């Protein structure tokens, strides 16, 4: 095998074609609502970690569990990258009518790209938070929130942080 590119070989690189059963696919006996997605700070240095919080409310009549998923998208990268990449997830049990605030960290390592070595690049990124992948079509309603953040500095190898 001479071509090690992942384009067209894994769901992360399918381009515009969505996988048949993406991560998080399934039905629930209740409904959830996401709100108040906060990225802190909205602009950060190259080697810093991003703090993320989101509020999840069980708006249904039954207690339920939701898998909260965070995806990262590079808006401009010097090398080919996935459409979006899963960077965190957590299963949360929430009683009917209750809400919870969840906190996550997106590390510098999770933003690294491969170009003969792992390195970090400045630029604009979009973070998605929800119960499914961005743009996924399901029978059960589930929203995906998004917000952008900026990385400042000069590109450097990850090991330089």
Q: Sheet containing 85-94: which strands, arranged edge to edge?
A: 43-45, 144-152, 123-130, 64-74, 85-94
Q: pLDDT digit string (tens) for 127-157?
A: 999 988 887 765 555 679 999 999 999 999 9
- Token readout for 18 is 């969505």
Residue 3 has pLDDT above 90, yes or no: no
Which DSSP state fits 10?
Answer: S
Name 9's Cβ contacts closer than 8 Å, sequence gap at least 6: none
Instruction: Evaluate the omega torsion of the peptide bond into residue 41 and state whether it is cis, within 30 degrees of 0.
Output: yes
Asked if 55 and 101 touch (Cβ cutoff 8 Å), the reply is yes
Domains and their CATH numbers in the chain: 32-160 (2.60.40.10)
- What is the sign, positive or negative, of the torsion defined by CA atoms of 18, 23, 24, 25? positive
Q: pLDDT digit string (tens) for 63-90?
A: 999 999 999 999 999 998 888 899 999 9
Name 115's Cβ contacts closer than 8 Å, sequence gap at least 6: 78, 79
- Token readout for 30 is 């209740």
């Amino acid at each position: 095998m001479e071509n090690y590119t992942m384009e067209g070989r894994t769901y992360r690189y399918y381009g515009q074609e969505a996988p048949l059963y993406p991560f998080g696919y399934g039905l629930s006996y209740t409904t959830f609502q996401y709100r108040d997605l906060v990225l802190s700070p909205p602009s950060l240095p190259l080697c810093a970690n991003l703090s993320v919080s989101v509020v999840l409310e069980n708006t249904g009549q039954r207690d339920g569990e939701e898998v909260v998923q965070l995806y990262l998208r590079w808006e401009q990268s010097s090398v080919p990258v996935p459409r979006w990449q899963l960077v965190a997830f957590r299963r949360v049990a929430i009683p009917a009518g209750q809400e919870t605030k969840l906190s996550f960290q997106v590390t510098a390592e999770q933003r690294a790209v491969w170009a003969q070595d792992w390195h970090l690049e400045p630029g604009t990124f979009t973070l998605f938070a929800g119960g499914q992948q961005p743009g996924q079509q399901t029978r059960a309603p589930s929203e995906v929130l998004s917000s952008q953040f900026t990385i400042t500095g000069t590109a450097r190898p990850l090991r330089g942080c």
